[in-house]
Structure 1
Amino acid sequence: MTLDRLRPVADRLLTPFVTGADKIGLTPNSVSVISLGVAVAAAVAFVIADPLFYVAGAVFVFANGWLDLIDGALARRQETASAGGDLLDHVIDRYADLTIIGGLAAGVGNFALGFLAVTGVLMTSYLGTQIQAVGLGRAYGGLVGRADRLALIGLTAVAAAVVSDPIVAGYGVVALLLAFFAIIGHITAAQRFWGAWNDL
């Protein structure tokens, strides 16, 4: 299910955006910082939890994902890729994940589900970078990667703008998404761990 497999396609679509960012003097690190600001804007919209704000939040989430692709492509264009830039990108991605999911949880007032979702997401990402740290390369595999999460959040936010009533066992679409992240996140982390363990 992972959308990370579509990175080569996305890279081709990025060209005009990367060219534009380069022309106005943006650096990969500045694009990463901007992406965090966009994630904060999404979280604020989700906390408000109004239909129009859910739609705005979805736009911000998709923008965050797109900017996350642009910073790496821009680094390659400018030939400025570095370990420091990679570190900054990973740190900002994690803060963006925490902020967006925290905003969703606060908007529906379900912090327990938010905590479980955040831990699942963080463990998925942690395993990806930890596998890289032990020399096995960056792991993007598993049921749900970051690109999948952002796509699901954006789509769910649009759905939440239309469907506000509970759907299953008193849970609305946002709470169901948090529950999904809580379960699938830990399963994906376990998949990555098991695959890496077998490769060691």
Structure 2
Amino acid sequence: MVLDRFRAAGDAILVPVARHLLNVNPNTVSWAGLVSALGAGLCFYQGGAGFLGAAVILVLVSSYLDALDGKIARLANKASPRGDFLDHVFDRYADVFLLSGVALGIYCQLWIGLVALIGVMLTSYMGTQAQAVGQGRRYAGILGRADRLVLLVVGGVIQLIVAPAGGVAWGASSVAFQPLEWFMVVFAVLGNLTAIQRAFAIWRGFAP
């Protein structure tokens, strides 16, 4: 999880806002983040310059709100198992909305999107399954959720620059070079490798 090392920098843009929202229910922020992710997924699916630009912005908004809800909960002493559970459920739905929007839209072949979605879901499952068997949550691995969201934004921006309508990009055929599709390939490969990596770590964590 490459971006974990930048958590302190992230706090610099989260804490000041969170301190002004201490009276806001963190779950309300979680809902807003989920709705933003749904909107982003629909925009990815629709495609075209306007919708693609909106999708990138909504991914950023959703990502920020997803981090903000937990920060508010901790600063306001409102953190609870129920809120933590809701946050993780919403994260999974957000992942499905975002990746399905790309997979079903004009920028990616469906089978690539499905493999990417499988990798992402299994990565998350392995992280919580470790806790279920008494080893605590595992967030380690090659590709974490924060990494995926950043890459999705980068992929969306590149797609917006070179082929917002999903057609020919830089003279290459649409099959050969669609930036978002290649980023989905990265999710498919690294997501499944991360899931396997976590599975092996859990297996090694059992007593002989």
Name structure 2 gaps, 5 residues minimum.
Answer: none
The answer to whether the 8 A contact 1:3-1:148 is kept is yes
Mapped to 1, the partners of 2:9 and 2:134 lie a distance apart of 27
In the alignment, structure 1 residue 161 sits paired with structure 2 residue 160:
yes
Q: 2 CA distance for matches of 1:91 and 1:114? A: 21
Matched, 1:40 2:38: yes
- Offset at 1:38? 0.4
Q: Supply the AA of the counterpart residue of 1:111.
A: L
| Closer/same/farther in 2, CA of residues 33 and 8 from structure 1, 3 Å limit | same
Q: 1:12 — aligned with what?
A: 12
Deviations 1:154-181 (A, max 9, x none): 1110111111235586241111111211
Secondary structure of residue in 1 paired with 2:20: helix
List structure 1 segments (4+ residues) > 4 angstroms apart after TM superposition. Answer: 166-169
Q: Contact 1:52 / 1:161 at 8 angstroms: preserved in 2?
A: no
Deviates more, 1:160-169 or 1:147-156: 160-169
- Residue identity matched to 1:86: D
Q: Deviations over 1:79-131 (max 9, x none)?
A: 11111111100000000000000111122262211111111000011111111
**Does 2:78 correspond to 1:116?**
no
Name 1:86's counterpart in structure 2. Answer: 84
Paired residue for 2:199?
Answer: 193
For residue 21 of structure 1, give the secondary structure of its aligned residue in structure 2.
coil
Q: Post-superposition shift, 1:77? A: 1.3
Letter in 1 for 2:153: G
Task: Say yes or no: does 1:179 pair with 2:177.
Answer: no
Residue 3 of structure 1 pairs with residue 3 of structure 2: yes
Higher helix share: 1
1:183, distance to aligned residue in structure 2 (A): 1.2
CA RMSD of aligned residues (A): 1.7
> TM-score under structure 1 normalisation?
0.92
Q: Any idea what the Cα deviations from partners look like across 1:61-86, whole Å, max 9, x if unmatched?
A: 11111111111111111111111111
Q: What corresponds to 1:68 in structure 2? A: 66
Higher mean C-alpha deviation, range 157-166 or range 119-128? 157-166
Aligned residue for 2:128? Answer: 129
- Kindly name which structure, 1 or 2, has the bigger radius of gyration based on alpha carbons: 2
1:188, 1:5 → 2: CA distance?
18
TM-score, length of structure 2 as denominator length: 0.89
| Unmatched 5+ stretches in structure 1 | none
